Structure 1
Amino acid sequence: MQRCRAVLVGLLVFCCAHVSQSIAATLRVGFGASKPPYVYEHESRGLEYDLVAAALREGGDELRPYYAPAERLHRMLKQGELDAMATTGSASDLGAFYSDSYIEYQNVVVSLASRDIVLQRIADLDALSVSAFQRARYMLGAEYAAMVGRNPAYREEPRQIIRSLLLYAGRVDAVVADERIFNAFNPLIAGQVDVAQPITIHRLFAPTPYSVGFVDSAARDRFNTGLAALRASGEYARIVARYAAQ
């Protein structure tokens, strides 16, 4: 009887291990290209990259990163070329299974101080030439989307560094950017434009929470479990602290 019980226990352990292995996977996750300090494309690191990788790992999955502009990542996910996409949310038209929010961006409007631009609300952007990040029209709310529809001089850039070049070169009146990303690009473009020009930061937006959009709901659930474990263990806070000065 004891021998039978031992055999049954062994079979149960084997089956559980087999099920666990079959559920876990290497997931193809899309990240926006070169968004310091969130994503350093050529270094496989960054605040956002590290958080997503750690949450996946805690949930039992591994990360295989892909880097591209947001619009291309959306097409790749819809065509089955990716398993998930970072930096998205339910306001997008992705039609994915969205994770709990794992990060917030603080988007702002930036203009050259020499232009004396005063902005009190989003609608004040109507008459300006504006450069933003791809899919900002979906992620920044209804008032922003309405402004986009009214403004023929509005554009969205596939590479976020382009916005900074356009602003400092005087090619646009204003750019919409996460404040940390905007600041991180200044040293990278200092040889091309005058980044010492005074700027004005217009704070029109609340923080934007972002999720990972998954093709599979079970993978989304594992990510959420891993993210909760990261927060509970203190590892989430440690990852954030590593990039606090960037």
Structure 2
Amino acid sequence: MFRIYFHILSTLLLLVLPFQNAFSQQKITVALGNTMPPWVMVEDNSGIIPDLLRATLGAHGYQIQFVYVPYARRITLYNENLVDVVYDINEKVIDTHRMSGYFSDIAYSYENFAFSLTKQNLQLNSIGQLKHFSVLSWQGAKELLSPEYQVMARENPQYAETYDQLAQVQLLYRKRYEVIQMDGKIFDYYRALINIKGEIDVSEPVQRFALFGKNSNGFLFRDEALRDLFNESLRKLKSTEEYIRIINRYTSKSH
């Protein structure tokens, strides 16, 4: 009798294991912007956001394929059913682009700051005050940020934008602009990179003015069960120190 039960059990395991293996090897395609260090780094498939996905869905055996495209096109790929998941999503983005799917819990937050060299001793308490200084921001900021920011940009003849965020940090330390506006972790990453290259002295301290608030984002999934699995994994991850290590992994050495 025992041999019969053992034979049945063995047969069932042989039938189930291939399905488990197929599930664990299931591929997921995720649309990401071309590059935005330290959040997304195309060169070696690294960055905070890829690391978060690997620590959540990757930990469940999913193979994650990152599809890198110009930032705005990530939404097009998702809306055209060409990828399973898209990043940098919030309720405003979903409404604006009429996206459908299953929105995750908040996974990470950007926070923009106005940076100036400390020796300038600027006193900035509002976005409107920036109109009195030369400001270099990232490309598209005046369309995407608040109405107050848009007014400031229109009224400031010394306001400019660039797609090159490395150049923003370089030009601040070269004293070409009094203020630059960018995400704090991006600033830390590029300052550390410039310091390694040694082309510009970035030892001079800076002031960070938190005038813009945080921009919280998550992922939009085409599959509800996958979204639920991600949310569960993310909650567990956030309860550990590993989440903080991932968020700070690429910038902790710059402080």
TM-score by length of 1: 0.71
Q: Measure how far apart 1:216 and its partner are.
A: 5.2
- Size of the aligned set, in residue pairs, is 239
- Is 1:53 the counterpart of 2:60? The answer is no
- Is 1:224 the counterpart of 2:231? The answer is yes
Partner residue, 1:205: 212
- Is 1:90 the counterpart of 2:97? The answer is no
User: Gaps spanning 5+ residues in structure 2: where?
Assistant: none
Q: Residues 26, 202 of structure 1: CA spacing in aligned structure 2 closer, same or farther, 3 A cutoff?
A: same
Question: In the aligned structure 2, how far is the partner of 1:82 from the partner of 1:217?
Answer: 15
Q: 1:120 aligns with which of 102, 121, 125?
A: 125
User: Gaps spanning 5+ residues in structure 1: where?
Assistant: none
Q: Which has the larger radius of gyration?
A: 2
Q: Residues 189, 29 of structure 1: CA spacing in aligned structure 2 closer, same or farther, 3 A cutoff?
A: same
Q: Residues 196, 238 of structure 1: CA spacing in aligned structure 2 closer, same or farther, 3 A cutoff?
A: closer
2:252 aligned counterpart, secondary structure: coil
Asked whether the 8 Å contact 1:71–1:135 carries over to 2, the reply is: no
- 1:72-221 counterparts in 2 under 5 A? 72-78=73-79, 80-92=81-93, 93-96=96-99, 97=101, 98-113=103-118, 115-134=120-139, 136-137=141-142, 140-148=145-153, 150-151=155-156, 153-190=158-195, 191-214=198-221, 219-221=226-228
Asked whether the 8 Å contact 1:133–1:160 carries over to 2, the reply is: yes
Q: Residues 242, 180 of structure 1: CA spacing in aligned structure 2 closer, same or farther, 3 A cutoff?
A: closer
Identical amino acids, percent of aligned pairs: 28
1:171 aligned counterpart, secondary structure: coil
Deviates further, 49-58 or 127-136: 127-136
Q: Measure how far apart 1:235 and its partner are.
A: 4.8
Question: In the aligned structure 1, how far is the partner of 2:175 from the partner of 2:70?
Answer: 24
Deviates further, 143-152 or 51-60: 143-152
Question: In the aligned structure 2, how far is the partner of 1:234 from the partner of 1:72?
Answer: 34
Asked whether the 8 Å contact 1:35–1:160 carries over to 2, the reply is: no
Partner residue, 1:64: 65
Question: In the aligned structure 2, how far is the partner of 1:221 from the partner of 1:149?
Answer: 43
Question: In the aligned structure 2, how far is the partner of 1:131 from the partner of 1:82?
Answer: 34
Asked whether the 8 Å contact 1:25–1:62 carries over to 2, the reply is: yes
AA aligned to 1:46 is G
CA RMSD in angstroms comes to 4.1
Q: Measure how far apart 1:232 and its partner are.
A: 5.2
Which deviations, in whole Å up to 9, do the C-alpha atoms of 1:77-108 show, x marking residues without a partner? Answer: 45555443333422334444432111123321
Which deviations, in whole Å up to 9, do the C-alpha atoms of 1:129-188 show, x marking residues without a partner? Answer: 433335545765454355445556544433421221232233333211222321221242
TM-score by length of 2: 0.69
1:230 aligned counterpart, secondary structure: helix
